[in-house]
Amino acid sequence: MRDEPGRDPAERPAGRDSAERPAGEAPDLPDLLIPAPGQIIGKLSVRTSADVDLLAVLGAVRDVGGDIASVTAFPATKGEPGVERVIDVEFRDITGETAAVAVGRVAGVVAAQPRETLGQVFGKRVIVIGGGAQVAQVNLGAVSEADRHNLRGERISVDTIPLVGEAQIAAAVRAVADLPRAHILVLAGAIMGGEITVAVMELRETGIPVVALNMVGSVTEAVDLVVSDPVQAGTMAVMAIADTARFDIERQRGRRY
């Protein structure tokens, strides 16, 4: 699991290497896009011309001491004069203001503006995949519970997609490992197995826990926790990743409710 509920990230033990971990146990990895207490973290929204050198932009951040955590580049869509591309850069160890001054000197940069990071704004993500009716009910529980924790200083967001078909759901499950700040997956459906079960096992190896509704199919044998009530499943998923909760999914692994 990427974050251990109820414990300050600074106090978490260092992850063990694969030789020391029992077979099948996922590594304890930090989420480098979620700010740790006392850590300086920043983001730049860089608007550029078409001929800007991306490596020069990133090099400017590194040259002033920034440790780059993520980079996203996409075409500009707002019609700003002279702006063809937008580059979002998240980094640690320096402020956005410091990085903005350095990046602003790079040829082709039209504007470099400090922003709050997505981790600071949206925080940890709960991902819900499955059938529309079940997804909606899981969402209800997850959003209600996230609201309770966000009022206490957390940042937890809920992302969902209703899908039909074994191949489509399996592909979505695998893609969760590539989503920034994804901390837990809830599978909400009536029947799941086969390739979906294989994808779930692969995802858990990356350290992301999986909660499933009680349904037909082999997927319930591969997940961390099975919950019959969809609203409660969403609630428990949020509690599992919230630092302000006392629910530890490690102690519930393999149970059904």
Task: Classify each residue of 87-103 as buried b or exposed e, where b means 16 or more C-beta atoms within 10 Å of its C-beta.
Answer: bbbbbbbbebebbbebb
β-pairing verdict for 124-130 and 156-162: parallel
Give the Å distances, CA to CA, from 86 to 25, 45, 47, 74: 40, 7, 5, 5
- The one-character DSSP state at 228 is S
Closest residue by Cα to residue 67 from 44, 90, 45? 90
Domain edges within the chain: 41-119, 122-256
pLDDT exceeds 60 at position 23:
no
What order do you get walking across the sheet with 85-92 strand by strand? 67-75, 85-92, 41-48, 109-115
Class of the 41-119 domain? Answer: alpha beta
Measure the CA–CA gap between 142 and 145, rounded to whole angstroms: 5
pLDDT mean over 60-65:
96
Q: What is the pLDDT of residue 30?
A: 67
pTM given for the model: 0.80
| Sign of the torsion angle spanned by Cα atoms 66, 34, 175, 249 | positive
Same fold across 41-119 and 122-256: no
Report CA dihedral (240, 6, 12, 172) to the nearest 10 degrees.
20
Q: What is the pLDDT of residue 40?
A: 87
Place of tokens 């409710």: 257
- Token pair for 192: 């799941």
Closest residue by Cα to residue 2 from 88, 92, 93, 119? 119
Tell me which of 28-32, 52-56, 96-100, 233-237 is least confident.
28-32
pLDDT mean over 15-38:
55
pLDDT exceeds 70 at position 21:
no
Measure the CA–CA gap between 136 and 222, rounded to whole angstroms: 23
Measure the CA–CA gap between 84 and 113, rounded to whole angstroms: 16
β-pairing verdict for 85-92 and 124-130: unpaired
Q: How far apart are the first and last CA of the chain?
A: 21
Q: In percent, how much of the chain has pLDDT > 70?
A: 88
pLDDT mean over 195-223:
95
**pLDDT, tens digit (0-9, with 9 covering 90-100), for 150-163:** 999 899 999 999 99
**Type of residue found at 205:** E
**pLDDT, tens digit (0-9, with 9 covering 90-100), for 45-62:** 999 999 999 999 999 999
- The dotted CATH code for 122-256 is 3.40.50.10550
